[in-house]
Structure formats: structure tokens, C-alpha cells
Structure 1
Amino acid sequence: MRYTVSVLDAHAHLFEVALQVAQPAKNQRLSLPVWIPGSYLVREFSQHLQQLRAWQNDQPVPVKQLDKHRWQVRAEAGAPLELRYQIYAFDASVRTAFLDASRGFFNATSLCLRVLGQEDVAHALEIAPGTATVGWQVATGLTPLKVDAAGFGHYLAENYDELADCPVEMGRFWSARFTAGGVEHRFVISGAGEWLDGERLIEDTRRICETQIAFWHGQQPPPFSRYVFMLHASADGYGGLEHRNSTALICQRADLPRPPAPGEKPAALKATDGYTTLLGLISHEYFHTWNVKRLRPAEFTRYDYDRENHTELLWFFEGFTSYYDDLMLRRAGLIDDATYLQLVAKAINQVQQTPGRLVQTVAEASFDAWVKYYRVNENTPNATVSYYTKGALVALCLDLTLRAEGHGSLDAVMRELWQRCEGGPMREADLLRALKRLGQRSYEGEIAAWVHSTDELPLSSLLQGLGAKVAHDKAPLAQQLGVRVSETGGALVVKTVLRGGAAEAAGMAAGDEWLGVEFASSASDAPPEAWRIHKLDEIPALRARRVQLTALLSRDKRLVRCVLTWPTASHAVRLGVEDATRLATWLAA
């Protein structure tokens, strides 16, 4: 297969794709994927394909669309077949394709038709500038065959899976290289300001990579010969998608590191810093290079690009990666114990403040990702739990249990799984066998309780046993009331009413605009006292010691009154350092 991708019209956001099939089948069928591995939602990429045409022997041949993402070409067997089409690209996420006058980006799952029956032959990709802006460059994890100094030219993939797993960044971008584990890594950033402290970013990323390579392989080289980080800095964005030897990332421009003032040292990272969040994202996607791209669910042994690929193991592959992403920052020396424990506390509170944790198991959440996790609505927190966040806490519990019992750690379990499964497909039974061998007992009870039931996790006792101090603070006001709100443009709007909370008992509903509060007067003959509010935090001062108030709401343009009984204060976990020596056996491992 030979693809040529070029910029057709950046202002119209159009790529042009030419596909040459050397030896097509008779009535050759083609399809475009409906999803991209790593992002578990059917996204219907074919909606952006237009003007598909085909030629054979220099003559046009008919193309018939069979369904939403498949086509059949009335071709004869043997003679080379050529197809041309356009792709509209204006999704700035990491999952699809984007093109304007400033940059281009694409995943092959959005641009490259699959030639059915020939997915396992070599796939060549030519990246041509077309009408691209002068000065653009190219970055990709694909193997270069013949490329110019800017990166335009010919690349090779072993098969369609490899082509689909190597996104392409195009444009004027900041670029730097470093070596980790004996492998060259490249970091490119589009959208960065001139003030970027690239030296710090590269050094911090190098430390993350070195730490993770050592985690998996000790002194041995990693299972890839090159790696590319592709980061797009935007005004407001966040996300990442893992690939076999690269990752596509998005962050807020304000989260990039800035150089310190003359004579100052770089500030220590805090849990609330945007740059800490960015490093955690980098760590997360890099860890995926092993955990999901190679060590993967058995259901992902061969991706089916035509439909959902269900698995109950996302709590392991996403959740355990979420556990290790921040832990690797600590082990790389980028954050201290206190900062790391604050990040753990944040994860604990996120799960505890989600009523859906008592409704859906984390295994069910993994299986339902296709219809629930990526389809967020006002009831999502009441019906679901995040396989990322709770999965990370399951990993934490397993790690601390192994350590407390004196039988190694989850680190050893991960390496055991890598070797047992030969860096390939795994099942839950493989995890149980690794736990039993290293932990010297069965962990079926823990997996049943923590993964396949909605039981609470024994977090406090395990954390205290490893030297963490567990305290409790009053929960945020929204959590106490049982609501999630937005406060933009001077409007206080209820986004979610949490199950079992005071707001639900009062009859409040998602979509209500909260206009004000009303209190009964202490004098029986006096009128009620009413106040206009714009933010939730205005309520406590108005409430004083009164336990009941009436929420004044606008619902479908009608004014609604909901009597709200102030709840007993709920609590949020706060973690600190109790015993640094015991903590070091875990955090500095």
C-alpha cells in the first residue's frame, strides 16, 4: 500500500490522500476505522471523508459505498488501483486530524483507508507539503526511508496497525532531542511561546524516561529504537494518546515551564501546579509504551477497527498507569513526598465524592467505557466510576498490601507480567498468578472485593501502615450540598445533582440556574429574607447558623423554590508525611 498525504487547502482544513494498491482484489473493498486504539469511543471518522474516486488502467472505475465506513471498488484483480479523496480536518484533539495555516496533525485512522485483506503487507506513506506554509517540518515515529531535512518524504510501516499507531505532526514547532536508555527521544511543541524553558522541560522529561526504562528493564534497552513526544500547547486544552514509540499530547500554554528570573532557582513543583500536571501526563503516556501498547488485554491482541473492542481490564491498563504516572515523578526526584501524597489524596477524594462508586464496579466501568465514560452527562457521577482513578487506587492497595506483608511490591508484579506475557496479551488470570507467586498467597479475595464489587477500599489503614498521616478536612461546599456547578458569566448553574445529597432531597435538578436564597425570618410576622447570589461561596455568610433555606431557581424560564436542609458536614481526606523512613521504602523504591 502506498499513501501520499498532502496539504490541499489549509484554510479549508482539507488534506488530500492518494492511495495506490499494487495488487487489488477483484471488487476490492476498503474501510476507514470507526475508532482509534486508546480512546474507547466509536467516533465515525468517515464523516470527514469526501470526493472518493478510483482509477485503474488510467480509467475511472465505480466506487460504491456499502455502509457508514466501507466502500467497494469495481476493480479487476491484479492491475494497480489508484484512489484519491479528501479529509476535512478541524479537530484539535489528539484522536483525529487537524489542519490550518499554523499546523497540521493526523492519525492514520482518520486519513488512511484500510485495504481489506491486505492489512498485513508493508504500508508506505509519503508526506508531501502540498500547499503547506513555507518552513513547515514533520515529526513522526514512522521509519524514514527517504526524507528531506524538514522531514517531508517517504516513510515505512510494517503493516496497517503500525501505520495507525504513528501520528504525524506538521508545522513550525520547537524541537529538541535527548537520550534515555540509550535511545534517542525527540520532543516537539507546537504553539509554545518564546518564553518556554525548554531546557527544564527536556531535563525533567529525560529523568521520567530514564526512571521508567529502569523500572521495566534495569540496564537493558527499551523495546523501541526511537521515541517522539508531540505536544500541542493551546489556550485551554488537556489530553494525551499513547502510541508504540510516540505520544500526542495537549496542554494549556500557561502550564509550560518558564525560565526563572536572573539569579533565581526553578521553583519546587507543587501538586496544584499546571506544570506538575503536564509532567504527570507525559509520565502517564510514556508508561503506556509498555502497559497497553505492548502488554495489553487479550481482547486487543488484534484490533478490530470496525466496532467496539470490549475488555474488563481498563482498570488495570489505564488505572495502574494512572497509579504509576505520579509515582514515577516522585521516583525521578521531580516532586517530594508531601507533594506526591497530595496527589494521592486528590485521587481518593475524587472517588469518594462520586456516588457511582457504589453503583458500578471498576471492571464494569472498563467494559462500559464505550457507552459511558466518553459520553458524560448530568447523571454520570451517580452511575459510573472512573476506571482511571479507582483503578489507580486498586493498584495503590495492592502495592501497599504486598509491601506490608513483606512480599515485594507491585513493581515486581508488573515486571513479572511483562516477562510472563512476553510483552503481549494478558488476562486477569495472569495478574492473579503473578500476585500469588510473588505475594505467596492468593489475592483472589482482594481482586473480587476491589475490582468486581463496589466495596470500599482499605486506603486509610494501608497508607498509615507505610508512614503516611491520614487526616480529614471539611469537604468543599458543593460536595456538602451534593451538587456540581458552573460559575461563568455571573450565572450560577447546577450541572449535576449528586445521588443521596441535600440538593437531590430538595428537588433541585441539573440545568437549574441558582438565582438566590431565601431565609425565614425569626419574627413570625416579618417577611422572608431573600438574597441574590452569583457564586456558591456567597451562601455560608448569608446562612449564618440557620439550618434551612429556600433555593430560588430558574428552570425552563419558570421560578422554582426548593427547600434545602443544610447537611451535616462531610469530609475530604488529607495526607501528609508521618514517617519519612517508612515512606521511603515505597516512594523511593
Structure 2
Amino acid sequence: MRSTRPAALLTLAAALLSTAGPIRAQVQPPTNTRPMAVPITQSIPDAEDKPFPGTIQLAIDASDTTTGAFRVTETIPVPAGQSRLTLLYPKWLPGNHGPEGPIAELVDVRFYAGGKPLTWSRDPVDVYAFHVDLPAGTSEITARLIHTSPLRTSEGRVTMTREMLNLQWEKMSLYPAGYYVRQIKVQPTVTFPAGWQVFTALDGKAATGSVVTWAVTDYETLVDSPIFAGAYADRHDLGKGVFLDIVADKPELLKIAPENLATYRNLVDEALLAYGAKHFDHYDLLLALTDRMGGIGLEHHRSSENQYEPRTLVDWAAGDWDRNVIAHEFSHSWDGKYRRPARLWTPDYRVPMQDNLLWVYEGQNQFWGLVLAARSGVQSKEQVLGQFANYAGVFTQYPGREWRSVEDTTHDPIIANRKPKPFSSLARNEEYYTEGALIWLEAEAIIREGTGGRKGMDDFAKAFFGMKDGDWGVLTYELPEVVQTLNAVYPYDWAGFIKTRIQTAGQPSPLGGIERGGYRLVWKEEPNPYDKARMAAAKYISLYHSIGLAIDSDGKVTASLWNGPGFAAGIVTGMQILSVNGKTYDQDTIRAAITAAKGNTAPIELIVKRDDVVRTVQLSYHDGLRWPWLERAVPGTAPTGLDKLLAPRAPAAKKLAAK
């Protein structure tokens, strides 16, 4: 059949079919819309060092032990002529070293003037700020709010139980923007459960039944003066204006033997001797004996918040490991509260803190907390040596030290917000505490060695922290003053020492203070007193220095050393060890397996579970159980430099140690 298509069309079709590519329609290029940033407008005034007009009335109902809710009524004067008042919730909290104000726990926030509700809005940039619109002529407003304190540890630290509470003012109050907090006057009142005893460093206490009021103070002092209160409580006068205020889960936990209470009196004497001055008019060691309220160790200028395990005072020997926190926090009255890094002191709780010098603030204080605990008898010398051994042992195999300096860990409270990490040995934590303590121990040994034993860190403490006896304010410092004071005690390249030990990563293990002090780090198959007691109390086993794992009582892995033997076998945090060499897991079984594998080539066989997968792993490790200890480098009885550092100074402490 003959085609009826015109010849021209056939020619065109053939030409199109012979082209190399497909036919494409003419398409306009797409339009990519690109926004421009909206400028951030500063709507919150910076703090000025001027008085806030009037006095804030802060009333808190803390009597609801069922819900744990703190109900707050705050009456705030309004400066004349203002149409809007900006109120701030504390964000950067002293002693926390980071922006940890728990604003999510502040709920049901309402504002009133003349009994009528006011409109308010949260600042979209700084969500810790509340802007309250004011009708003309408003002279004061009332804020009503609730602080919903955590009921479970998964929600945060528990601060109220049926038997006790820990009231921290900054968590349940607002303050006006635009003023140094020391210039804002507040009169606090709290309603407690009936019959509870109340402890705080605040002055001018007056009670009517369960309602307690204190004298007008400034907001800075208020925030620095928390409350412990409880149904079962006791108070001990330690002398020199210092008191030990205890609340407990049960009344029998309050019973402390007279000779053990004497160690706390020794602690006061030893601290005053070490620092050579007093920077408080009175001081309250607030102590909770509890496993129901959350643990705490937090410094304040005229008080400190401390928690022990419930039986730490009545089972004195067994609780030895747990008692360092009071010595540490008491020492902070000099180091951290009176003498404070200039960039860690801020005019309000909105200005960010700069943590670079926490290796002085906390590192030196970690050092002094251990030294004063040993000198006073609050902890035994063997326990303190065990803590130093624990610190030193960790840093002999710690991959994070290769890339991250001690100084960089001072930023960790901000970077990590103190949350757990998958591999903390590589990430590092806040080691300005522990490695800082070892570095200050080395500084002590250098001074002692260089002066023939005539001087040590006590001389630095007096020169740096003990100046201006009776000054209850805050005296700030920068790094050059630290170096200058060290050189005045003993001329040395302290700037180079700090640059190397503190500011440079990849340094050798920080053992200089131990070795110069006449001791050495050794490894034994049994844990030192500190590690043994700590593991028993927390019901876990640390095999960090052997197979590189920490394991809880159920066999769950809570930590895995980066590049350690467990890590190499594929064992990571969250796994559960079901069996060891064919036997059901428990601590004795895994210890026995590690011991049996020493010196041979047979692997340790583990059955592990991760999620819904169970598998067998072969763990290659053959060096036996290892825990760190400190022992004298040269046998004998003559005191070494480290022995002399930990020896009591105060007459009463010497007498107690001689028994």
C-alpha cells in the first residue's frame, strides 16, 4: 500500500530521528527565593550599678510535699513612668558554671496590677525574659507563679521529699532587668510544712508558726543563701561562727559520735589556718543525709549545700569515701566566692560567664578539699591517697588528653551542660577538677622542693586567698595575678608551667606531684579504699584499667574506654553482658575470668545483648585485674613531702590523729 504522507513530512521525520539527543522544550530557569536575615533587636536593658527603687516582697509556699510544687507570690515595685517592666529568670547560675536555670519548671506565670491581670510576652530572643505591659500609673505589680520541682530523677534533681526540701531562690523568682543584682532589695518569706526546722545563712529570721521571714537583703545575697529544711534535723556549733546543719530521711541517721563530730570542728580550724583569714561573719554547712532528695555539692559565700548517703555519719568507716564534699564546698568560701576569676563574676544572671580559670577556681579547690579533709580527719589519709590514685590512674590511659587541654575542659559545663557522653574518655569531661588537683599537687611539690620544705601551697593560699581578713565581698583576679603570686612564694617559670600543664594538649600523665612528693603510682589486683567503697555504694564495678569497661549490677555497660579491650571487641555503652565464659554474669564471675586470662592467650568469651540481638564476643585481654594505688617510692617511716602536706596543723586535729 502506498503512503499518503507528503514527501516533505517524511524528510522532516527522518531528520528528527537522526538527531543525537532527545527533543527538549524551552524551559525557564527555576527561581530560588533567598531570604534576608531579620536583624535581632536588643530589647532588654543591660545591668547598671544603680539602686532599684523599692523592695521586692517574695513569698513562697513550700508546704506541699505531695506535689513538690513551690507556689510563689512576688510583689515588685515599678519605677515611675514605665509602661513596660522586663523581668528576668536567672539563667547563668553561680557555681553551675553554665546557663542551667531550669526555666521549663517555671509554670502558671501570671501578672497583676490592682487585682487585674496584665498582658505579658516572653522575649523571642532571650526566652528567660518576660515583658509585662503596664497601665498608666502602675506603682507595683504582683507575679504569681509555680516552680514545679522534679518528682523523679528523669525530670531533674529532686529538691523536695516528704521529709525535707532544698529551696534555691533563683529557681522560683524573677528580678527586674537593668540593675546589678546586688542593687535589688528583697524581703523573703517562706511557709514550710508544720514542725520542720529551717536552716539558711540569711540574717534576721522571724517565725510565726510555719511562716518564716528574714530581714531585707539584696537579690545577689538571697540567691547565694539557699535553704535546707526538714522534719528530722539537728544543728551543731563547730566554733568560729560555723555551724553544721543536718536534715535526714530518718531521725536515727542524725546520730554522730562525738569524736567524729570533732573532725568537723578540726575542718574549720584547718581551713582558717591554711587560708589565714576569714571572709564570712557566719557560715552554715547545710547537709542532707538522704537517698531521696537529689545529691548536691554547691558553694556559697556564707553556706554550702551538701549531700551524703543516708548512713554516712552513723557508719563512719564505711562512709569515709563519701565525706569529701563538705571540705570541698567549705573551701570555696575563700576560693571561688571571695576570690573569683574576673570573667566568672557577672553583674546579673543574664551576662554569660567565661570559665577559662576554673582550673584555679575548682582545680585548686579540689586540691584543698582533699588536703583539708585529710588534715582534719573528716576523711582518712588512706581514703584521700586513694582519690589521688584514682585521678592519676585515669589519666595514664585517657585518649581525650591527646586533643583537648585541661583549659578547654573548663568550657564543658557550657558545651555539654553536664549530660552523659557516649565515650567520655575521648570527649573528656570537666577534668579541670581532677587533673587540676594533680597539677596543683605538682606545684606544691615544686615549691616544697625548691625551698627545702620551708614553703608550700599553704603559703600561696594565704597570699592569694587570705588577703584582707574580714572582707566579706568579692575580690576578682586574672591569670597574671596567679602567676605573680606563685612567683612571690617561689621564683619559677610558672607561666611556662601553666602553659604546658593547663593550656596544651598531649602532655604526659600528670604524675609529677605524686612522684616529687615521695610516692609512686602502682597497680594492684584489688581496688584502693576509695575505689572499693565507691563501687560498693553505687553497686557497679569499674574495670576501666583492665578490660576498659564499667558495668552495673545487672551487667549493663555504663562506660567503654575508647580503644580499650572492650571497645576493640565491639562492646559499647548500653549493652548487657549475659554470661562470662559460659557462666551467668556477676561481678565475681568477670573478675575471675580476667584473673584466669592473665598470662595466656585464650580470650574471655562473653555473651552480650544489645536491643534484641544476642551475640558472642571474644575479648582479648591478658594483663589481669588492675586498680591504681599510691605507695611510698622508698620504704620507710620518715614523712615524705606528700605525707607532710596531708598532716594536721591544728592542735586538736594533731591530737585526734595521734590516737
Instruction: Please give the TM-score of this superposition, normalised by the length of structure 1.
Output: 0.85
Q: Distance in 1 between matches of 2:99 and 2:615?
A: 39
Q: Judge conservation of contact 2:205–2:212 (CA < 8 Å) in 1.
A: no
* Contact 1:372–1:380 (8 Å) recurs in 2: no
User: Which residue pairs with 1:540 in the alignment?
Assistant: 594
Deviations 1:179-235 (A, max 9, x none): 433x24242323244153334454221210121022212xx5x22111112212123
Q: Deviations over 1:360-401 (max 9, x none)?
A: 211000122222371222211222052211111011011011
The answer for the alignment partner of 1:262 in structure 2 is none
Report the equivalent of 1:560.
615
Aligned to 1:228: 284
Over 3 Å counting, the alpha-carbon distance change for 1:225 and 1:488 in structure 2 is same
Q: Give, in angstroms, the shift of residue 106 of structure 1.
A: 1.3
Alpha-carbon distance, 1:178 to partner: 1.3
**Distance change (3 Å), C-alpha of 1:454 and 1:573:** farther
Q: Is 558-567 or 438-447 further displaced after alignment? A: 558-567
2:146 equivalent among 66, 86, 94 = 86
CA distance in 2, matches of 1:541, 1:567: 8
SS at match of 2:93: coil
Q: Paired residue for 2:24?
A: none
| Alignment check: 8 A CA contact 2:98 2:353 kept | no
Q: Any conservation in 1 of the 2:244–2:287 contact (CA below 8 Å)?
A: no
Equivalences for 1:131-142 in 2 at 5 Å?
132-142=192-202
Aligned counterparts of 1:151 and 1:326: Cα–Cα separation in 2: 39
2:569 maps to a residue whose letter is A
Instruction: Provide the residue aligned with 1:447 in structure 2.
Output: 498
2-structure distance, mates of 1:379, 1:22? 50
1:437 aligns with 488
1:274 is matched with: 319
Amino acid at match of 2:341: P
CA distance in structure 1 between the aligned counterparts of 2:521 and 2:604, rounded to whole angstroms: 34
Q: What is the DSSP-based 3-state SS (H/G/I as helix, E as strand, rest coil) of the residue aligned with 1:3?
A: strand
Any idea what SS the aligned residue of 2:84 has? coil
SS of corresponding position for 1:255? coil
Partner of 1:213: 272
Using a 3 Å threshold, how does the CA distance of structure 1 residues 301 and 238 change in structure 2: closer, same or farther? Answer: closer
Number of corresponding residues: 555
Query: In 1, Cα distance between the equivalents of 2:480 and 2:356?
Result: 12
In structure 2, do the counterparts of structure 1 residues 61 and 11 end up closer, same or farther at CA, with 3 Å as the change threshold?
same
Indicate conservation of the 8 Å contact 2:443/2:513, yes or no: no
Preserved CA contact (<8 Å) 1:125 1:156: yes
| Corresponding residue to 1:411 among 452, 458, 465 | 458
Shift of 1:558: 1.9
Cα distance in 2 for residues equivalent to 1:50 and 1:373: 22
Q: Which residue of 616, 638, 644 corresponds with 1:580?
A: 638
Residue identity opposite 1:188 in structure 2: I
Within-5 A mapping of 1:507-546? 507-517=570-580, 530-535=582-587, 536-540=590-594, 543=597, 545-546=600-601
The aligned runs of 1:239-318 (5 Å cut-off) are 239-258=296-315, 273-278=318-323, 280-302=324-346, 304-306=348-350, 308-318=352-362
Partner of residue 69, structure 2: 14
Written as runs of structure 1 = structure 2, the 5 A alignment for 1:108-119 is: 108-118=169-179, 119=181
| Counterpart Cα distance in 1 of 2:552 and 2:157 | 31
Find 2:188's aligned residue among 126, 137, 152.
Answer: 126
* 8 Å CA contact retained: 1:90, 1:98: yes
Q: Specify the alignment match of 1:39 in structure 2.
A: 96
Report % sequence identity: 18
Contact 2:367 2:440 in 1 (8 A): yes
Q: What's the CA shift for 1:304?
A: 4.7
Structure 2 residue corresponding to 1:180, chosen from 239, 247, 269? 239
Give the aligned residue type for 1:351: F
Q: Give the distance between the partners of 1:400 and 1:542, measured in 2 at CA.
A: 40
Q: CA deviation at 1:326?
A: 1.8
Tell me which moved more, 458-467 or 573-582: 458-467
Cα 1:469/1:555, change in 2 over 3 Å: closer
- Shift in CA distance, 376/40, structure 1 to aligned 2, threshold 3 Å: farther
Residue type at the aligned position of 2:456: S
Q: Quick one: structure 1 residues 100 and 576, their matched pair in 2 at CA, closer, same or farther if it must change by over 3 Å? A: closer
Give the deviation of 1:143 after TM superposition: 1.7
Which moves more between the two structures, 71-80 or 417-426?
417-426
User: What is the Cα deviation at residue 475 of structure 1?
Assistant: 8.1
Secondary structure (helix, strand or coil) at the match of 1:580 reads coil
- TM-score between both structures, scaled by the size of structure 2: 0.77
Aligned to 1:496: 559
Contact 2:346–2:352 (Cα < 8 Å) also in 1: no
Give the match for residue 427 of structure 1. Answer: 478
Give me the whole-angstrom Cα distance separating, in 2, the residues matched to 1:310 and 1:142: 28
Opposite residue 544 of structure 2, the aligned amino acid is Q
1:464–1:34 CA distance, 2 compared to 1 (3 A): closer
Supply the distance in 2 between the matched residues of 1:542 and 1:466 (Cα, whole angstroms): 36
Gap regions ≥5 residues in structure 1: 259-266, 519-529
- Tell me the SS of whatever aligns to 1:21: strand
Change (3 A) 1:559 1:380: same
Relative to structure 1, the CA distance from residue 487 to residue 49 in structure 2 (aligned partners, 3 Å threshold; closer, same or farther) is: closer
Distance 1:337 1:230 in 2: 24
Letter in 1 for 2:432: Y
1:166-205 aligned within 5 A: 166-181=225-240, 183-198=241-256, 199-205=258-264
Question: What is the CA–CA distance in structure 1 between the aligned matches of 2:202 and 2:481, rounded to whole Å?
Answer: 32
Cα offset, 1:121, TM superposition: 3.3
- Counterpart amino acid of residue 37 in structure 1: P
Give the aligned partner of residue 345 of structure 1. Answer: 389
Tell me by how many angstroms 1:241 deviates. Answer: 0.6
Give the Å deviation of 1:286: 0.1
Letter matched to residue 98 of structure 1: T
Residues 1:467 and 1:100: Cα distance change in structure 2 (over 3 Å) = closer
1:336 Cα offset (Å): 5.6
- Whole-Å separation in 1 of the counterparts to 2:489 and 2:182: 38
Q: Which has the higher contact order (CA 8 A, sep 6+)?
A: 2
**Match of 1:110, as an amino acid?**
K
Query: What is the match of residue 152 of structure 1?
Result: 212
Change (3 A) 1:307 1:570: farther
What is the CA deviation profile of residues 243-298 of structure 1, one whole-angstrom value per residue up to 9, with x for unaligned ones?
1111111111021235xxxxxxxx7x5xxx424522x1110000011111111111
Going from structure 1 to structure 2, the CA distance change for 1:461 and 1:58 (only over 3 Å counts) comes to closer
CA contact (8 A) 2:393 2:628 kept: yes
Relative to structure 1, is the Cα distance of residues 65 and 92 closer, same or farther in structure 2, using a 3 angstrom cutoff?
same
Q: Please say if residues 137 and 151 of structure 1, whose CA atoms lie closer than 8 Å, have aligned partners that are also in contact.
A: no
Task: State how far apart, in whole Å, the 1-side matches of 2:105 and 2:606 are.
Answer: 46
Task: Tell me, yes or no, if the aligned pair for 1:96 and 1:107 is still in contact at 8 Å.
Answer: no
Aligned to 2:534: none
Q: Are the equivalent residues in 1 in contact too, given 2:232–2:249 (CA < 8 A)?
A: yes
User: Do the aligned partners of 2:253 and 2:311 also contact (CA within 8 Å) in 1?
Assistant: no
Deviation at 1:41, TM superposition (A): 4.2
Q: Distance in 2 between matches of 1:475 and 1:359?
A: 31
Aligned mates of 2:226, 2:378 — CA distance in 1: 29
* Conserved? CA contact 2:363–2:432, under 8 Å: yes
Q: Report the AA paired with residue 265 of structure 2.
A: R
Find the aligned partners of 2:509 and 2:577 in 1 and give their Cα distance: 38
2:441 is aligned, of 396, 400, 425, to 396
Which deviates more from structure 2 when the two are superposed, residues 551-560 or residues 322-331? 551-560
Match of 2:426 in 1: 382
